[in-house]
Amino acid sequence: MKAYERLLKYVKVHTTSDESSETIPTTKRQFDLANILVEEMKELGIEGVRVDDKCYVYGYIPATKGYETKPSIGLIAHMDTAPSASGKGVNPQVIENYNGEDVLLKGDNSVLSVEKFPNLKELKGRTLITTDGTTLLGADDKAGIAEILTVCEIILTENIPHGKVCIGFTPDEEVGRGADHFDVKGFGADFAYTIDGGIEGEISYENFNAAKAIVEIDGVLVHPGSAKNTMINALNVACEFNSMLPQTERPEHTENYEGFFYLESLNGDTAHATMKFLIRDHSSEKFLEKKDTLIHLEKILNEKYGEDTVKIDIKDQYKNMLEHIKPCLHLIENATEAMKTLGITPVIEPIRGGTDGATLSYNGLPCPNLGTGGFAFHGKSEHITVEGMDLCTNLIVEILKRYSK
Ligand SMILES: [Zn+2]
């Protein structure tokens, strides 16, 4: 079976995750796909196939006889789709020999336009898969699952020598919890790749260090007519706090390796205000400096307005995986060499966000990310091509071949 045929099957299963849910997985419906994958994996001849009570799917292909000492490589993708758009009733449009021009999405008569997505021009001549405009596509990350299982089918049916290959499918990646309950030990891989990204040839192994800061401000509320030298307006203190941060270090003014302070929300009244900041930086030194800056502001404002006016609580969210990938740069070298063999141009860019691979890398499983061939994730403009998926599939096979040398 071709990878896109699997994709078209999986996107029919509604697997949207839910940020507001406290359950594991955040939505029960993710088990619907997990159970289908378990059956398919067994049919393919994958061993040790299981889905656990937290909706993580695992399995492995034992090493070819004589290749048992080769590194065991993990392949990981996620089953959920982003809550930012509906993932229910997905009805893809498959356009053969795509002409490189605007595409009418027939479900809501909207247009997937070349002006907005100039990458479409490069896809001319390919078989393009889009949404019908009423949902997202779910190529993020069902394309990753489809490619991984197609790789399994290829190495099992074509008798390609390989080390142990471990397969893992996670729930809840889109709500930042995909790696939380991943059984790294039971998975059994020495190294892994998440297959969860954009264009074929994309390989990422640097991401942000991330923290969130909650700033609570207690004001002093008195009648405004007699407020002189008494009132402390929490909202004004909040504005002052924000104005003391470097204005150029905001998301809207930064790119590439530039970090930022992002004021995500500000709520309150005179008596009390709450601000939520996201702090991001690739450099761990600059990341620490940013956190120190916030603590310094807390101190300065408390000296000005009185102790306990400002209280800040900073929590780390995830870290840059780079320092865990550096000792195993073969993961990057083997991938880029495999790309060259297949005529794919490597696209290496720092991720301005986090990935499950970052958390897994910190939990002892070095795990860069590879593209799936998809574009414009998390909304109705999402699209992918049959050829791009084939390239990504072949790339993974090629990487496994390299690790068996
Ligand atoms: Zn994804």
| Best CA proximity match to 143, nearest among 400, 399, 383, 389 | 389
Structure tokens at 388: 């791009």
In three-state secondary structure terms, 338 is: helix
Domain range summary for the chain, segments of one domain joined by +: 3-206+321-403, 209-318
Distance in Å, CA 94 to ligand 1 centroid: 21
pLDDT 10s digits, 116-168: 999 999 999 999 999 999 999 999 999 999 999 999 999 999 999 999 999 99
Q: How far apart are CA 130 and CA 136, in angstroms?
A: 9
Instruction: Please tell me which residue in 40, 80, 153, 390 is annotated as part of the active site.
Output: 80
Structure tokens at 332: 């990057």
Tokens 């930022």, located at residue: 260
Distance in Å, CA 320 to ligand 1 centroid: 17
pLDDT 10s digits, 175-184: 989 999 999 9
Q: How far apart are CA 229 and CA 371, in angstroms?
A: 59
Q: What is the mean pLDDT of the chain?
A: 97
Confidence of residue 12 (pLDDT cuts 50, 70, 90): very high
Distance in Å, CA 196 to ligand 1 centroid: 5
Confidence of residue 212 (pLDDT cuts 50, 70, 90): very high
In three-state secondary structure terms, 329 is: coil
Cβ neighbours for 131, distance < 8 A, ≥ 6 positions apart: 90, 91, 92, 93, 105, 107, 137, 380, 381, 382, 383
Neighbours of 106 (CB within 10 A): 14
pLDDT 10s digits, 55-71: 999 999 999 999 999 99
Kindly report the CATH number that applies to the domain delimited by 209-318. 3.30.70.360
Q: What is the pLDDT of residue 123?
A: 98
- Return the CATH class of domain 3-206+321-403: alpha beta
Alpha carbons within 13 angstroms on the beta-carbon side of residue 116 total: 11
| Ion ligand 1: residues, Cβ under 5 Å | 140-141, 196
| Best CA proximity match to 155, nearest among 38, 4, 46 | 46
Structure tokens at 73: 């490589």
pLDDT > 90 fraction of the chain, expressed in percent and rounded: 97
Q: What is the pLDDT of residue 355?
A: 81
Report which secondary-structure segment, H or E, holds 167: strand 165-170
Alpha carbons within 13 angstroms on the beta-carbon side of residue 389 total: 30
Distance in Å, CA 78 to ligand 1 centroid: 7
Query: Is a pLDDT exceeding 90 seen at residue 383?
Result: yes
Cβ neighbours for 228, distance < 8 A, ≥ 6 positions apart: none
Query: Is a pLDDT exceeding 90 seen at residue 51?
Result: yes
| Best CA proximity match to 369, nearest among 322, 319, 323 | 322
In three-state secondary structure terms, 396 is: helix
Q: How far apart are CA 294 and CA 312, in angstroms?
A: 8
Distances in Å between the Cα of 96 and the Cα atoms of 26, 130, 281 are: 37, 11, 42
Distance in Å, CA 139 to ligand 1 centroid: 8
- DSSP notation for 13-29: S--B--TT--SSSSSTT
Which is it for the CA torsion 183, 350, 145, 68, positive or negative? Answer: negative
pLDDT 10s digits, 81-108: 999 999 999 999 999 999 999 999 999 9
Distances in Å between the Cα of 264 and the Cα atoms of 212, 250, 251, 278, 297 are: 10, 11, 10, 7, 18
| Best CA proximity match to 370, nearest among 349, 343, 401 | 349
Instruction: Please tell me which residue in 140, 147, 172, 173 is annotated as part of the active site.
Output: 173
Question: How do beta strands 209-218 and 310-318 pair?
Answer: antiparallel
Active site residue 132: no
As beta bridge partners, residue 278 has 212, 262
Query: Is a pLDDT exceeding 90 seen at residue 276?
Result: yes
- Contact between 321 and 358 under an 8 Å Cβ cutoff? The reply is yes
